[in-house]
Structure 1
Amino acid sequence: MAVRESAGATARTAAARPGLTLAAVAVVQFMVSLDLSVVNVGLPQIAAGLGFGAVGLTWVIHAYALTFGGLLLLGGKAADRYGRKRVLLSGLGLFGMASLLGGFAQEPGQLVAARAAQGVGAAALAPAALALLTATFPEGRARVRAFGIWSATNAAGGAFGVLIGGLLTQYAGWRWVMLVNVPMAAGALALAWRGIAASPPAARGGRPDVLGAVLATAGVTLLVFGVVRTDRHPWTSAATVTTLAAAVALLAAFVLVERATGREPLLRPGLFANRSVAGANAYNLLVGAAMASSFYFMSLYLQHVLGHGAALTGVMFVPFALGVVVGAVLVVRLGHRFAPRTFMVAGAALTAAGFAWFALISPDGSFGADVLGPSLVAGVGFGLCLGPLVSVATAGVAPRETGTASALLTASRQLGASIGLAALGTAAHDRTGPVVTPRTLNDGYALGLGLGAVLLAAAALVALAVLRRKDVPA
């Protein structure tokens, strides 16, 4: 029986098509990253079309990022437990359907609900896709190339999402920032169905811990909600303190449940004993917080301060995307010569320098003087660190936990994005003050971008202090 099972597994592996697997994973990652930024440029039109308030509008972003980040551990555990291809296909189906419904939303609650459903689908498909990539390309130059392509599509999705969102918003209407995902989800489904072999689950433990997922998602949602509402309630107010205390209590309960549950824990505590896993996720949390807020601030600066339209704003993000591609190509060419930590430190430092340059924006500025140079610097830096980060985050992890480790990495980025956008957005709002003019808006956005540079500098220090000098090849 064991011989037949081994032969069957070998046949299934042989039946896989690495090229199609890589293509499917690339499309999935591009789509997931795109959805974090494609709505940014269209936010003013979405607010006007559906009647969102200034604070409520941020939940178009938060609803996706929170369900995505909060449920990722459950998605990764499900991929390990029930099979990566099965979970990937299910996530793609849900993501595509939610995008379709969001495109036809008639009121704010419907769009926020659709964005939340998108996040649930993304939480299933993203860790399954990354775990498939890790299993399909386990070592060597092929692995470096595969992760280089993954990192390029990951970052390009976020950067080109602004361009695509701007063009769609101005020439087709804001609803197409949701509907654009439908053909991409269908294409990824076709590639995954044909190119990925149906393999047995990597882990055969008990049922995933749904209670832990609920506690984690509820705790993070309250945490971000409490930070967002500091524009109305000061940090020391009873409302803010109560909300944040409830968030901490839920997250503490999550930790206790993970230690005591009779089911498969979403996150085995011993996983953080791996320095690579712990360091990579701390690094990723800081980078996610800085990048999400920077996209938000630069989009609003170009439109509200410099007065550009949505389409032109999207075009102005292209240099950043090109810089990311350049950084990713450098890693592919040099990844076998240098340790991942080297790229991560250099990438974070370079991106921090670009953001510090961004923080010098002025209300009388221009694209050439205030945006082009820092976009190229920050883009190259961001491209340098993405591929090596994935290799470090999955280094030394058992095959049965690759889905969980992949989910943890994506979760740290999305949670960082949610909390970072909430905290830095609140700081920028406070700096803007009650009198809204191009100059006061510029001051708020500049502060937010400067704080992003600080977060990236902290990420570089984390990589230096926690990660080993000699680690797995990038």
Structure 2
Amino acid sequence: MTTSSDAPSVPVAAARRVLVPLALAQFICSFAGSSMNVMINDISKDLDTSAQGVQIAITVFLLVMAALMIPGGKLTDRFGRKPCLMLGLVVYGVGALLSAAAPGLGVLILGNSILEGVGTALLIPPVYVLTTLLFTGTANRARAFGAIMALGGIGAAAGPLIGGLLTSAISWRANFVFQALVIALILLLTRTLEDPRPPDPSTVFDTVGAVLSAGGLVLVVSGILAADTNRWATLALLLAGAAVLAGFFGWIRRRERTGREPLLPTSLFHDRTANLGLVTQNSQWLVLMGVSFTIGAYLQVVRGYSAIATGGVFTAATAGLLASSLAAERLARRRAQRTLIVAGFAITVAGILLLLLLVRSFGGVWAFLPGLLLIGLGVGLMLTPSVNVVQSAFPDSRQGEISGLSRSISNLGSSLGTAIAGTILVSELTKHGYAAAMAVLAAFGVLGLLAALLLPHGRGAGQGRSGG
């Protein structure tokens, strides 16, 4: 059923109180995924590891989020949105504090990559489910998602800048203390949050499906990470990952045929518009996180920039993303979602090409700024419509499932971006790694653009369905 009214389902003042902690939750999770990109040298020296060791920690964090986001979304239906959100915040906070005190890479991976990753997988699906349930109508939902995605995008784009400031002024460990403080603030703000729908304890959790889906994603990304050391291991891991994922889809189809509830209903993939929207989400986060890691590693390892200098370079991307994200509500009223997503990818690809051409031709730091500004503008332009297209394609009763799938696809893009670009860059750091990594990221940007061009025309495509 299409929603005709754009009236919010909660009063304006109450809506703002709800949006603040939800948007902050998305901010800190996105911040965690990119802020370490400017601390590569500092962490490497302090923990006696390498740039590749830090890359693994970053990638594992993003991978844990992607692997567990679908099960996390399913748990929101069984135990409720608020309990999952609160538990996720607590687990994340413990991981941040452990990371701040890490004596070595192993403890850093446990705190940052595992605990923060698990916490994020628990808390992010409730953020999107609550937003979808509390805000009805295209414009109001676009406004809510715009605020959340704006802070999420700013977290990813400003992560290097804030992380660089904290690292240079205090220590790289202050980055994790900052995260713990933000988590404490969110916990305080969510005390009075009300879940609009009661949990359903009868919801069956598909444990086998959860293990298969997580295992398949872990094997695939691990294969990419191994590409610079052992090509046979890479091939074996990729094939094993593909086989496990095929087994996962076979398993959920078998459960559906026998009348049992699967972890992920195959019907979620029957909506063509939502499928294309998922592809655009994966591509935009792959490009954003891939560019962030590539430039961060290149500036520090090759050019010898400090954390603060590296973070300062990303100011252009932050400014661009902030400008376009904050215009999401106005743009949603004036332009079709397809138009915004197509324009976003076109601008982003142009920005990558500028980074590729200018940085190779000129040695100054200014060569990074035009390209990063365009990438920030492009990504900010398409973040909100991509999410809205997918979330609004399903009724309220499916929001837990589609939120988990949507966030898993996005975080898989983030982990793939870091793994692919990082593997290329680290393996050829003194040769042509920067150019090769940026060229590959541009290709993924073009793939996202093609998917966006296939989205249906019309202002209401894929929007506004509600009910249960």
Name the TM-score, length of structure 2 as normaliser: 0.91
Contact 1:79–1:201 (CA under 8 A) maintained in structure 2:
no
| Residue identity opposite 2:434 in structure 1 | Y
Between 150-159 and 423-432, report the one with greater CA deviation.
423-432
Q: Which amino acid aligns with 1:421?
A: T
Q: Tell me which of 368, 372, 375 is aligned to 1:371.
A: 368
Aligned residues: 450
Answering whether residue 234 of structure 2 is matched by residue 240 of structure 1, we say yes
Confirm or deny that 1:51 pairs with 2:48. yes
Q: How large is the RMSD of aligned CA atoms in angstroms?
A: 2.1
Q: Would you say 1:174 and 2:134 are equivalent positions?
A: no
Alignment of 1:395-414 (within 5 A): 395-414=392-411
> Is the CA contact (8 Å cut-off) linking 1:306 and 1:365 kept in structure 2?
no
Correspondence for 1:137: 135
Contact 1:306 1:366 survives alignment (8 Å): no
Shift of 1:429: 4.0
Amino acid at match of 1:448: A
- Residue 187 of structure 1 aligns with an amino acid whose one-letter code is L
Counterparts of 2:199 and 2:270, CA distance in 1 = 21
Greater displacement, 386-395 / 256-265: 256-265
Q: Distance in 1 between matches of 2:250 and 2:157?
A: 39
Aligned position for 2:115: 117
2:247 corresponds to which residue?
A: 253
1:365 partner SS? coil
CA positional deviation for 1:123: 0.4
Going from structure 1 to structure 2, the CA distance change for 1:95 and 1:295 (only over 3 Å counts) comes to same
Deviates more, 1:249-258 or 1:126-135: 249-258
Q: Show the 5 A alignment for 1:229-378.
A: 229-234=226-231, 237=232, 239-261=233-255, 264-360=261-357, 361-362=359-360, 365-368=363-366, 370-378=367-375
Q: Is the 8 A contact 1:276 1:395 kept in 2?
A: no
- Offset of residue 15 of structure 1: 12
User: Are the aligned partners of 1:209 and 1:263 in contact in 2 as well (CA < 8 Å)?
Assistant: no
Q: Is residue 2:407 matched to residue 1:448? A: no
SS of 2:102's equivalent in the other structure is coil
Q: What is the CA–CA distance in structure 2 between the aligned matches of 1:56 and 1:263, rounded to whole Å? A: 42
Residues 23, 15 of structure 1: CA spacing in aligned structure 2 closer, same or farther, 3 A cutoff? closer
Residue matched to 1:417: 414
Residue of structure 2 equivalent to 1:86: 83
Deviations 1:2-53 (A, max 9, x none): xxxxxxxxxx978993211100111101001001011111122111111223
54 and 375 in structure 1: CA distance in 2 versus 1, 3 angstrom threshold? closer
Equivalent residue, structure 2, for 1:98: 95
1:8 is aligned to none
| CA distances 1:361-401 after superposition (whole Å, capped 9, x unpaired) | 13851122x11111111111111101111110112312121
Residue deviations 1:271-297 (CA, integer Å, cap 9, x gap): 111122211111111222211110001
3-state SS in 1 of match to 2:341: helix
- Deviations, residues 61-99 of structure 1 (Å, cap 9, x unaligned): 122111111000111111122211111111111111111
Report percent identity of matched pairs.
32
Gaps of 5+ in 1: 1-11
Offset from partner CA, 1:424-458 (integer Å, 9 cap, x none): 333334544xxx3xxx3xx3112211221221121
Provide the TM-score with structure 1 as the length reference: 0.90
1:14 and 1:358 map into 2 onto residues whose CA distance is 45
Deviation at 1:465, TM superposition (A): 1.5
Instruction: Please list the CA deviations of residues 181-228 of structure 1 after superposition, one character each: whole Å capped at 9, or x if unmatched.
Output: 11111111111112x214443656532212222222222111111111
- The structure-2 alpha-carbon separation of the partners of 1:206 and 1:146, relative to structure 1 and needing over 3 Å to count, comes to closer
Q: Contact between 2:164 and 2:311, CA under 8 Å: does it hold in 1? A: yes
Check if 1:149 corresponds to 2:147.
Answer: yes
Unpaired segments ≥5 residues, structure 2: 1-8
Shift of the alpha carbon at 1:119? 0.5
Q: Find the aligned partners of 1:16 and 1:409 in 2 and give their Cα distance.
A: 28
Change (3 A) 1:214 1:467: farther
User: What is the CA distance between 1:407 and its match in structure 2?
Assistant: 1.8
| Residues 161-200 of structure 1: pairs in structure 2 closer than 5 A | 161-194=159-192, 196-200=193-197
